[in-house]
Amino acid sequence: MDALQERAIRFLRWSEQYTKTDMVYLASGGLWSVLGQVSASVIALGLAMLMARFVPKDAYGSYKYVLATISILASFSLTGVGTAVFQSIAHGYRSALDDGFKANLRWSGLVFLGALLGGVYYLFHGNTTVGIGILFGGCATPFLSSYNLYLSLLMGEKDFKASAWYGDFVTNIIPALVLGLVAYFAPQPLYLVLAYFAANTAATAYAYYRSKQTYPDTEKKHDPGMLTYGKHLSAMGILGGIASNIDQVLLFHFVGPIDLAIYNFAIAIPDQLKGPVKMLDSMLQAGFAVRSDGEIRASMYIKMIWLFISGALIVVTYILLAPFVFYVLFPKYLDAVLYSQIYVLSWLAIGLTPSSSFLTIKKKVKGLYISTMLGNTFKIVVMVIGVLYGGLMGLIISRVVARIFGAIVNYMLFSVTALREN
């Protein structure tokens, strides 16, 4: 270790008296997280620019509608197995990966059945594009979601470097290249859907098998409670999966594919900014897994303050820069600027992220049920009302309100849990 590294570590240790966080651990994982998220954001930005330039708005809206429909169907599978596998591996049960993979495939029958019914329905009504797209997506999704469990293995092993390489670069660059070529040469919604699922499944399968080679399951240690917890999380996730994608379906049916395209570009950059938050959540869970509830609660509030300040700075900066960003990157979507500036206000909820991380990693099942049921029900209701009475603007505002409401619910549940255990 050279002198510069030693000084950096001393500084990080000194800062822990103010942040109440293991800053060396956070910095070691955060470095790879930042690099990975930067690469993922650059790839996503490049693909978005190609889509905005070469794909007509109505075609792009139809493409996003098919993806949203498949995502809603997928919410009825074992969606919570990823978190359960991650937690089991973090506690030394490496066989959880294979167990989770097999269980996820078994529980994906409903996805295939729903896609079959939906695809046949649209084909019967003459919409070949949507019908074939849903059928193909329904066949690919069980494998795509199962292969994606490699991220649970890497995060459970705290291999942030490999997680960034595969999760942020490899599994993004391959689909982006394929979709970019399709957008340029054949910008039709059906071709885009086929390219999306084929490329993502292939790239994720590669990452899965490479990760298994790096961390082979030599001890065959199985976690008997993993699938039970995964089923609980999956049941909670049904409403969440619907709530996360019903906005696309509502806009497509009640407003139209063109406004759906505008909406997707309005939320694109703010949602890309959420990438580091997801990585932060995984890092917090990995750190919380080996600490007692009391230790976590003692440093929780200072974490929230620092995160809120960071989120507020991001919001102000984005609002100021958004008009210039859209003018340069998405000149055909300048009508999305105002929507995007309003939508980024949802980032103010970032300060309460540690409370949801605590509920998840400590398996507060009752609190998680309340959080997901209440938060997602509220989100669905306000989005339906927003679209029906306010169109695109109503949807944007409802999403901001729903995210802040959900974060407050998680914080209240954490506070109640903390009081009960004192």
pLDDT band at 110 (very low <50, low <70, confident <90, very high): confident
Q: Which pLDDT score is estimated for 92?
A: 84
Residue 187 makes CB contacts below 8 A (sequence gap 6+) with 54, 55, 56, 59
pLDDT band at 298 (very low <50, low <70, confident <90, very high): low
pLDDT band at 25 (very low <50, low <70, confident <90, very high): low
Instruction: Report CA dihedral (67, 72, 73, 79) to the nearest 10 degrees.
Output: 110
Residue 5 forms part of a structural domain: no
- pLDDT digit string (tens) for 400-422? 999 999 888 888 887 776 555 55
Per-residue burial over 116-140, b if 16 or more Cβ lie within 10 Å, else e, is: eebbeebbeeeeebbbbbbbbbbbb
Q: Which helix (H) or strand (E) holds 281?
A: helix 275-288
Q: Is the pLDDT of residue 296 over 70?
A: no
The more confident residue out of 363 and 379 is 379
> How far is Cα 380 from Cα 19, in angstroms, rounded to an integer?
36
Q: Which pLDDT score is estimated for 422?
A: 52
Q: Which pLDDT score is estimated for 343?
A: 96
Rounded mean pLDDT, 179-205: 96
Q: Which pLDDT score is estimated for 415?
A: 76
pLDDT band at 301 (very low <50, low <70, confident <90, very high): confident
Q: Which pLDDT score is estimated for 416?
A: 74
Rounded mean pLDDT, 217-238: 83
Residue 376 forms part of a structural domain: yes
Please report, rounded to a whole number, the percentage of residues in the chain having pLDDT higher than 70.
82
The total of structural domains in the chain comes to 1
Residue 268 forms part of a structural domain: yes
> How far is Cα 386 from Cα 246, in angstroms, rounded to an integer?
12
> How far is Cα 163 from Cα 280, in angstroms, rounded to an integer?
13
- pLDDT digit string (tens) for 112-171? 999 999 999 999 999 999 999 999 999 999 999 999 999 999 988 878 788 888 988 899
Residue 14 forms part of a structural domain: no
Q: Is the pLDDT of residue 214 over 80?
A: yes
The more confident residue out of 79 and 397 is 397
Residue 363 forms part of a structural domain: yes
In angstroms, the first-to-last Cα distance of the chain is 42
Residue 3 forms part of a structural domain: no
Please report, rounded to a whole number, the percentage of residues in the chain having pLDDT higher than 90.
51
Per-residue burial over 166-188, b if 16 or more Cβ lie within 10 Å, else e, is: bbbbbbbbbbbbbbbebbeeebb
Q: Which pLDDT score is estimated for 344?
A: 94
Q: Which pLDDT score is estimated for 303?
A: 74
- On average, the pLDDT of the chain sits at 84
- pLDDT digit string (tens) for 330-340? 999 999 999 99
Residue 12 forms part of a structural domain: no
The more confident residue out of 311 and 68 is 68
Inter-residue contact 383 to 246 (CB < 8 Å): yes
Q: Which pLDDT score is estimated for 231?
A: 85
Q: Is the pLDDT of residue 10 over 70?
A: no
Q: What is the extent of the structural domain holding 203?
A: 19-421
pLDDT band at 70 (very low <50, low <70, confident <90, very high): very high
| Both tokens assigned to 222 | 């199985």
Q: Which helix (H) or strand (E) holds 209?
A: helix 189-214
Q: Is the pLDDT of residue 213 over 90?
A: yes
Residue 416 forms part of a structural domain: yes
The more confident residue out of 345 and 83 is 345
- pLDDT digit string (tens) for 167-188? 888 999 999 999 999 999 999 9
